[in-house]
Structure 1
Amino acid sequence: MSDAVGAPRALNDPHRSRLAALPRRTAGFVLALVAGLVFTLLAAPPAHANTLDGVWHNPYGADELYATQPTERSPRDPMAGDNVTVRATTWPVAPGQSVWVTWSVNGVAQTPRGASWDYNSGNNTYWKLDLGSFARGDVVEYTVHADVNGGGQRSSGPFSFTTTSWSTVTDVTSVVDNGTSVDIVTGDSAGDFTPKVRFAFPRLDGFDVQIAPTGAGLELSGLPDYTVTDGASQVEIATDELVLRIDKNPYRLSVYEGDGTTLITRQYDPAVFRNIGWASDGETTVTRIEDHFLTPTGERFEGFGERYDRLDHRGTDVHNYVYNQYQDQGATRRTYYSVPYFANSAGYGIHVPSTRYAIFNLATHLDDMAGFTVDTGGALDSTLTYQFFTGDQTEMLDDFTAETGRPLLPPKWAFGLWGSANEWNNQAEVEAWLDQVESSGIPHSVLVLEQWSDEATFYLWKDAQYTPTDGSTPLQYDDLTFPSGGAWSDPKQMIAEAHAQNVKVLLWQIPVLKENFTSNPATAPQQHLNDKAYAQAQGYLVDDGAGQPYRIPTGQWFGDSTVPDFTDAEATDWWMDKRRYLVEELGVDGFKTDGSEALFGRDLIVSDGRRGDEMHNAYPNEYTSAYNDFVQETTGADGTIFSRAGTSGGQSESIFWAGDQASTFGAFQEAVRAGQSAGQSGVPFWAWDLGGFTGSFPSAELYLRSTAQAVFSPIMQYHSEKADPSPSEARTPWNVQARTGNTTVVPTFARYANVRMNLVPYLYTEADDSATTGVPMMRAMSLAFPDDPDAAQYDQQYMFGSQLLVAPITNQGQTVKDVYLPAGEWYDFWNGGRASGEGVKMYDAGPDGIPVYARAGAVIPLNLNDAYEVGGTIGNDVESYDNLVFRVYPSGESSYEYFEDQANAHRRIDVSADRAARTVEVSAPALTTASTFQVSGTKPDTVTVAGSALPEVNSVSALAASTEAWYWDAKQQLTYVKVGASTGERTILLLGVDKAGYEAEFAGHTAVSTNADHPGYTGLGFVDGFANAGDAVEFDVWAEENGAHQLRFRYGNGAATPATRTIRVDGAPLGTLSLPPTGSWSSWGTASIDVTLPPGRHAVRIEYAGGDSGGVNLDNLVLAR
């Protein structure tokens, strides 16, 4: 392509003013404003007559998916039947200008065609002309010309395109068994090629497919453990776990389970619409390849990376395209982290291991068809490979991350609380924050500094003085001096002070060599100019495809800047050596690796030969991989990076955060979805900026609701955008309290921050499992309960790890949450109250609570203080625990594998509850530290450890002072069993113990109240005012076993005569219960009645019916065998 004299620089549209690299997060607003101005007709005064400085046309524009430039060709890649429009601009605006196109089709010159004036904007006139439509195989070449009053001609071009159309496979013509793969040879509907579809089995329960329209380029191979049966009308390829049947006339694949009869899915019916297809001219190029499957109504499609608007994408088109979308990711359906993988609720998943653009059409073109279309790069021997997984989502994620990379387990300190604010841009701000953290007693683990650098090199501290070196030589810390009055007086000492408080430090990064400087700083430092010149001279930059450094399109964040090529090992080493002193001399613990979504244009090229169509989505992974390798090397694998963008495989390099959210409840809801969606796509270590980081300052309500949720996120962080706001915009709890005037913010936040530290043993155990299997920490209900279609409808609740169900309140003004509980019994994590599924439980969370349930059979490792308080004051030390506690909710047989990282060992805990024998047995594994088991249940008669009776103590403080003992907590109905460290497994046995009582204060109430004015109750109180006809309490109970049970009501009756109550079970009358006097209202007794129950959920109602008498207080109901 050639340009006329006076063509605009840097291949950018000349009407667009060059934007400086904008302050972080503000570019999106400015771009929207610019876009609006570009298309506004301006009545600009004409320049001198007979003036024409240039004409410009760029067929692909910036090659951006979500935006077009007014000088593009439309469509960029024409197919047969498309009407082709060419747009161009001339400058300056002047009368007498004309624009036309000279062109040819298949080498035959066509009549030149004139363009029509479209509009004027600024200094430019815009033109357009229609070339018409073309047939498959047509090669169109054209040049755009302009003159003014017949003279001063300028031109842009020549340009060309080749017209393609869709072809598809027809009948199977032969079958070739290669020993480690099978080729199905078919006809071509266009008659040009001999297509082949190759199947290979990397594992017996899944397969890979490679589609080769021309029959060339096949590479797949796999295990030899399959059989091929070539029949008259069908080919069957079978392993022990899967059966593939391929109809021959025409080609159509069906996938069955190993029994050969249970259909998983099948390709779409080619009599209605093609299944396998490709776009080609039939001779020189294949540009896109696709496949389509049948999708019955009700199938769900989940995954696709970090998606904000929904979990089930059925009925939408999903683009595999990473993009820097500032706010409103849900409304725009754009994402920073895009993964071409989905899980289908029918029990299969598909991953397209390509970084080129792909679109997934999910029941949009036809309501029973789902498919994907993938760009190829245009080579004639292009192929499309996809991976087919089977099983439930957890099984498929295990296989998917085995293929794309296991998630990298972050260091343990990463699971504490992170603090960040853009306004912490000097040492005084940071030291004030560290002081406030210490004085508040709110445990923090990580400090992230964004505006720490000179905003030019992004590796030198702001205001540091030094002698510039040539671009090849990295500076050391001793080369820097920090003048009085500068932003930073001694960053090395500051980081040491943070470390002394057990706070790690991360520094912000961006992968650019910045071009534009208007402020902060106003001019480029000499060191930065030296670095840029050296990088260009050494070829360390992404190339634009014409031998010049690629530049980020004007108007994008850091527009016009060049970009380091992290596929070049020398370039990567050079870049990282500049930053080495930060880690090795100052002790920085990692980096916040922002950006990287800025490669646009199919022609750019990187060191390893890949072009822009592959690198747009791939560059974020190259960036995070380079930084992760550097951090792991320099920190001894005790550092981390915190990234925004990525695609398949990114999980093996970094923790990710959700990007730029506003401080609104809507953005909060989107973040909750995004975390689940990321997890469904292989990304388990994820965070968002709790409360949002931009826009209006968060209300106390939003802040506390999101704080509660963030406790139960993989990573917990607060952050704010503005650099120098007044008043402060920091999302610290003390600033939110000061700004909102709500004095509950700091104490509530402190309690939740302590809960976060309480959960570290659980967090790290679940994180280790995620790193091993790919199963996320934040698990969508559909993933956790694949056999419960109702659960999948609830996208504002999730399983957090394997044991806890979390249902954050994400609606403004809401205090009661409808929580969906799957089948089984669920224990309220905060108070031991119970509810049964499957169904909806109305949960009153008050102004700052969050519903959290433990599943029956759960074992939850915790770090608690000596008072054994969840949410009580505790420090930020993650390397040793105050009290390692295992909270146990016995139910039948269950087990849990605790990760004792100090010993790098997995410790299995088995729990067995025999309700008929009234025993609970817990295996205490070998542990390097003392531990306490909190076992839910009634008070036992005896507790033994390894066959020896353990002494009972009567208080928590006495337990804390003991080496080994047990204590029963009536409030929580927990038996605390404390044991010492041991090199071997021991059995803890609770004798004479029943399932914990169902607290009356948590039951359903009719005309009664609750109170706590008489001592001796269990739980939080008791039912009072149970004294009149019509009064009732209804318990939702769960029978673990079939057979005879006893309903034991604990009550108080301070009257002199017995009371009676009628008992109903599941609506049917069971009998009348006598409740004799207990001597006083502060004394409690038990009254029992027998019942036979099948296993499962039951409603037990105790009511004051006709004929009943007396008043009672009701404490709890024990369901015993």
Structure 2
Amino acid sequence: MIEWEPNKNDANLNIPVDGQVASICWDEQTKLLTMSLAYSAVYGMGERYNGLNQNDRIVKIEVEEKFCNQGDKSYCPSPFFFTDTGFSFCTLSGGTLIFDFTQKSVITVHAPGNCKFIFNAGTPEKLISEYMSLSGPAILPPDWVFGPWISANHWNTQKETEKQIELLKKYQFPATVLVLEAWSDEATFYIFNGAKYKERPNGAPFAVDDFDYSESAYWPNPQEMIEKLHKAGLHLVLWQVPVYKQQGDDEIRNHQNDLNREDAVKRSLCIHNLDGTPYKIPEGHWFPGSMIPDFTNPETCKTWFGKRQYLLDMGVDGFKTDGGEFVCTDEVSFYDGSTGKESRNCYPQQYTKAYTKFLGDNHVLFSRAGYMGQHTTPCHWGGDQQSTNDELRHVLSAGLSAALSGILFWGFDLAGFAGPLPTLDLYRRATMLACFTPIMQWHSEPDGGQFKELMPGGEGNNERSPWNMAAVYNSPKFVTEMRFWHWLRMNLRPYLMATAFRCAAEKVPMMRPLVYEWPRDKAARQVEDEFLLGDAILVAPLLEENQTAREVYLPEGEWYAFFTGKCYHGCQTISTTADMKFPVFIRGGYAVPLHADSMDSLGNPVSQNLNSKLILLVAGAAGKSTFTTNKSVLTCEWKNKKVRVEGTGAETVQIHHFC
């Protein structure tokens, strides 16, 4: 890894890369960095919805909010890329960057002045890991994150929220996380809607006992609700947005919000324009007229989280940190002395970093926006998508490019959350894919649509729950079909948790496009719609309507169809068949721990106690796998028919051998 500051060093640099020399030149007058080297593919740069390989494109590195069909925009960009020839670049600047990959054997970068550039060479695994190391250690989410998540915007009362416990029980579905978006007063975003309280001026914090819910029609006893959720195995995550909100003329005035805004101005808790006035989100953006907190100011953090500590004291398990794409100009200043020119992209990462520090261990943060260092935020989701097949392909590209940018734990709103309800077939295929991604979640926009005039949703109940989908389409068997994939997710949890532990410890993405593992394989480099989940599972999503089979490229080695056990040799493209259920393969020489009674019982209800009923699915004639979590270590080694298992619970493990 080479760190280079051209204003302090020579304006030219040569770097050996894979049998060639990359020639680097900086032009101080035009602020243009030119890199001359041979390459045919380029990866990284954060979530990219328009494809994995960004060669022949101009890529803007700027945090931008875009509702659905993001195209070349990104909520979560990264100032990092690497090529198929093993060369990587990043800059520590938080300003807007323009990467130009349209010139053969030449890459140019428009960057602010006084930048530090970092160059490296090696395999994708090495380049991504060392890029991540620049920002600190990765955060490992709690184990319960790896079960199914449920969410719907119209759950805006305690009665409706507690109803979900009964519906899960009625339909025999598992879930480990419930997300509430419409829970707050929609002004302060930290007070339950309908609660009575004594107003707090001057940034004074709230406590659990400061609220009276007795007359609330929305949340009469949130403490009791949280206890019920926990008893049902559900962890509660509450929606957040970083604004001192400018309320509209049609909204009921919230005096506590007015006090918060006055305090933010008085004590300079918000981001400012260069002339010293408070910066306000411009018209045409989400929350126009609102000020935004400056999380580089310790006093801002103290005040902001002092208002939210009582939520953790009540038992809230985490926050969904939406928004953050609110710095829309270079002409702003932060408490730490930086301006938008150097750090406008850094704001969402400052935001999530502050929340992550506040939450501490055993809680989770689920974020949409970010920048360099996203792995120091526990989890991300892929933003807003419509319920269309095109958007399913878009969000898969986003997840895979995010992985090649060092984002470890990522998920998406399966089958989209916006617009008319998905078809049953789209929902089916999206559920299959979500089952094999780090975070599995269904979510829905408000009834009628998020932006009714722009993109109306379905009439009446717009919820994307499996049972509501079945009811809308009058297809009761669909509930049974979707139940299988939710319980399969629970079967996979031991593998997911052990994989997550290794990913955080070693800075390894959980989803890995084929180019990550096989960068020298030209056929693998062409594949943008397959990925490894951890070391052992290859996933080939079904992305077309009514698609039940597809062509799948299998890299070198042996591969065993997960649902049939049939063996396929690698370095070839095969045609899958509908009897495979979903194109998923186990890699020869690896094992997969499953929480189940037997292989025949996969997809059926199983106890959430992970200390029993463990199956090791062993693939290939010989191999070795070690599974480490916070609580245990289990090692499996085998050759031919002889399998040896050592470690925690080894005496109760059942072996199922694909060979």
What is the TM-score of this pair, normalised by structure 1? Answer: 0.57
Q: CA deviation at 1:840?
A: 1.4
Give the CA deviation at 1:558: 0.3
Are the structure 2 counterparts of residues 467 and 792 from structure 1 closer, same or farther at C-alpha, using a change threshold of 3 Å? same
Q: Which amino acid aligns with 2:362?
A: D
Gaps of 5+ in 1: 1-205, 219-245, 257-261, 269-274, 281-287, 377-381, 914-919, 938-995, 997-1121
- What is the aligned counterpart of 1:721 among 445, 453, 461? 445
Contact 1:733 1:749 in 2 (8 A): yes
**What is the match of residue 107 of structure 2?**
370
Q: Distance in 2 between matches of 1:689 and 1:930?
A: 39
Structure 2 counterpart of 1:62: none
Q: How does 1:813-828 map to 2 (within 5 A)?
A: 813-828=546-561
What is the alpha-carbon distance in structure 1 between the residues aligned to residue 482 and residue 43 of structure 2?
33
Within the candidate set 526, 538, 559, 2:288 is matched to: 559
> CA offsets per residue over residues 892-918 of structure 1, 9 Å max, x none?
4x2212014324xx44322223xxxxx
- Any residues of structure 2 matched to 1:721-870 within 5 Å, and which? 721-723=445-447, 726-845=459-578, 849-865=581-597, 869-870=601-602
Out of 258, 262, 286, which is 1:529 matched to?
A: 258
Indicate the SS of the match to 1:925. Answer: strand
The CA distance in 2 between the partners of 1:902 and 1:895, in whole Å, is: 20
2:128 counterpart of 1:397: yes
2:212 paired residue among 481, 489, 495: 481
Instruction: Answer whether contact 1:552 1:561 (CA < 8 A) is retained.
Output: yes
Secondary structure of the structure 2 residue equivalent to 1:507 = strand
For 1:359, the aligned partner's letter is I
Question: CA separation of 1:252/1:650 partners in 2, compared to 1, >3 Å: closer, same or farther?
Answer: closer
Paired position in structure 1 for 2:14: 253
Deviation at 1:251, TM superposition (A): 5.3
- C-alpha separation in 2, matches of 1:508 and 1:561: 18
Superposed, 1:451-462 pairs within 5 Å as 451-462=182-193
Q: Distance in 1 between matches of 2:276 and 2:613?
A: 63
For 1:588, the equivalent position in structure 2 comes to 316
Instruction: Describe the superposition over 1:577-608 as per-residue Cα deviations: whole angstroms up to 9, x where unpaired.
Output: 00110011x10000000001111222211111
Deviation of residue 866 (structure 1)?
6.3
Alignment of 1:462-501 (within 5 A): 462-484=193-215, 486-501=217-232
Q: 1:912-944 CA distances to partner (integer Å, 9 max, x unpaired)?
A: 23xxxxxx333311214643242426xxxxxxx
Given that 2:125 and 2:516 are in contact with CA atoms closer than 8 Å, whether structure 1 keeps it comes out as yes
Q: Secondary structure at the match of 1:276?
A: strand
1:276 and 2:5 matched: no
Which runs of 5 or more residues in structure 2 are unaligned? 449-457
1:437: how far off?
0.8
Verify: 1:680 aligned to 2:404, yes or no: yes
Cα offset, 1:485, TM superposition:
6.0
2:70 aligned with 1:329: yes
Task: String of CA shifts for 1:289-331, please: whole Å, max 9, x gaps.
Answer: 41322224xx21001101111111110011111110111113x
**Equivalent of 2:349 in 621, 627, 649:** 621
- Aligned match for 2:98, one of 359, 367, 375: 359
Match of 2:301 in 1: 572
The 1:813/1:868 distance shift into structure 2, 3 A limit, reads closer
State the alpha-carbon separation in 1 of the partners of residues 116 and 270 from structure 2: 30
| Aligned match of 1:706 | 430
Match for residue 292 of structure 1?
A: 35
- What secondary structure does 2:556 align onto? strand
Please tell me the residue identity of whatever aligns with 2:611: Y
Equivalent position of 1:320 in the other structure: 61
- Aligned ranges 1:32-51 → 2 under 5 Å: none
- CA separation of 1:845/1:389 partners in 2, compared to 1, >3 Å: closer, same or farther? farther
- The reply on whether 1:934 has 2:655 as its aligned counterpart is yes
> How many residues are aligned here?
650
Structure 1 residues 867 and 768, CA, compared in 2 at 3 Å: closer, same or farther?
A: closer
**In structure 1, distance between residues paired with 2:573 and 2:217:** 58
Deviation at 1:707, TM superposition (A): 0.2
The corresponding residue for 2:175 is: 444
Secondary structure of 2:196's aligned partner: coil
Amino acid of the structure 2 residue aligned with 1:486: A
Aligned to 2:646: 925
- Counterparts in 2 of 1:135-146, with a 5 A limit? none
User: CA contact under 8 A between 1:459 and 1:578: conserved in structure 2?
Assistant: yes
Alpha-carbon offset, residue 887 of structure 1: 0.9
> Who wins on radius of gyration, i.e. which is larger?
1
Give the whole-Å Cα distance in 2 for the aligned partners of 1:355 and 1:796.
Answer: 30
**C-alpha contact (below 8 Å) 1:446/1:504 kept by paired residues:** yes
The structure-2 alpha-carbon separation of the partners of 1:264 and 1:769, relative to structure 1 and needing over 3 Å to count, comes to: farther
Contact 1:406–1:773 (CA under 8 A) maintained in structure 2: no
Q: SS in structure 1 opposite 2:223?
A: helix
For the 8 Å contact 2:93–2:343, the answer to whether it is kept is no
- SS at 2:351's partner residue? helix
Q: How far is the alpha carbon of 1:464 from its aligned partner? A: 1.2
**Match of 1:302?**
43
Q: Deviations over 1:940-992 (max 9, x none)?
A: xxxxxxxxxxxxxxxxxxxxxxxxxxxxxxxxxxxxxxxxxxxxxxxxxxxxx
How far, CA to CA, are the matches of 2:390 and 2:412 in structure 1?
14
Cα distance in structure 2, aligned partners of 1:612 and 1:580: 30
Q: Report the alpha carbon displacement of residue 442 of structure 1 after superposing the two structures with TM.
A: 0.7
**Alignment check: 8 A CA contact 1:900 1:907 kept:** no
Give 1:252 shift: 5.8
The one of 88, 104, 123 equivalent to 1:349 is 88
- Cα displacement (A) at 1:576: 0.2
Q: TM-score, normalised by structure 2?
A: 0.95
CA distance, structure 2, for counterparts of residue 209 and residue 658 of structure 1 = 33
1:1059-1098 superposed matches below 5 A: none
- CA distance in structure 2 between the partners assigned to 1:806 and 1:695 by the alignment: 28
- Cα deviation, 1:340-371, whole Å, max 9, x if unaligned, reads 11121112211212111111111x1x322112
SS in 2 for 1:474: coil
Tell me if the contact between 1:361 and 1:370 (Cα under 8 Å) persists in the aligned partners: yes
Q: Would the aligned equivalents of 2:524 and 2:555 in 1 still touch at CA under 8 Å? A: yes
- Determine if contact 2:195/2:216 at 8 Å carries over to the other structure: no
Per-residue CA shift, 1:234-289, capped at 9, x if unaligned? Answer: xxxxxxxxxxxx9xxx9562415xxxxx5244227xxxxxx332226xxxxxxx24
Q: How far apart are residue 441 of structure 1 and its match?
A: 1.5
* Equivalent position SS for 1:422: coil
Q: Secondary structure of the equivalent of 1:315?
A: coil
Name the SS for the 1:329 alignment partner.
Answer: coil
1:266 partnered with 2:49: no
Partners of 1:254 and 1:460 lie apart in 2 by 55
Distance 1:721 1:374, change over 3 A: same
Q: Which structure dedicates a bigger proportion of its chain to strand?
A: 1
Name the structure 2 match of 1:432: 163
1:478–1:781 CA distance, 2 compared to 1 (3 A): same
Q: 2-side partners of 1:292 and 1:421: how far apart?
A: 47
Q: Can you list the C-alpha shifts for 1:638-658, whole angstroms capped at 9, x where unaligned?
A: 001000111111211231110
Check the 8 A contact 1:409/1:768 in 2, yes or no: yes
SS at match of 2:500: helix
Counterparts of 1:671 and 1:621 in 2: how far apart (Å)? 21
> Does the 8 Å contact 2:447/2:460 carry over to 1?
no
In terms of fraction of residues, the more helix-rich structure is 2
Shift of 1:670: 1.0
Residue 636 of structure 2, aligned match among 886, 904, 909: 909
Q: Is the 8 A contact 2:595 2:610 kept in 1?
A: no
Q: Quick one: distance in 2 between partners of 1:723 and 1:293?
A: 52
In the alignment, is the contact (CA less than 8 A) between 1:453 and 1:462 conserved in 2? yes
Instruction: Report what 1:887 is aligned to.
Output: 617
Amino acid in the other structure paired with 2:29: A
Secondary structure of the structure 2 residue equivalent to 1:887: strand
- Distance in 1 (CA, whole Å) between partners of 2:613 and 2:394 is 36
**Equivalent pair of 1:264/1:347 in contact (CA under 8 Å):** no
In structure 1, how many angstroms separate the alpha carbons of the residues matched to 2:330 and 2:128?
A: 32
1:857 positional shift: 1.2
Deviations 1:800-831 (A, max 9, x none): 11101111101112222111111222111112
Of 210, 234, 242, which aligns to 2:5? Answer: 210
Higher relative contact order (Cα pairs below 8 Å, separated by 6+ residues): 2
Segment drifting more, 531-540 vs 700-709:
531-540
For residues 20 and 157 of structure 2, the distance between their equivalents in structure 1, rounded to whole angstroms, comes to 59
1: CA distance, partners of 2:517 / 2:560: 17
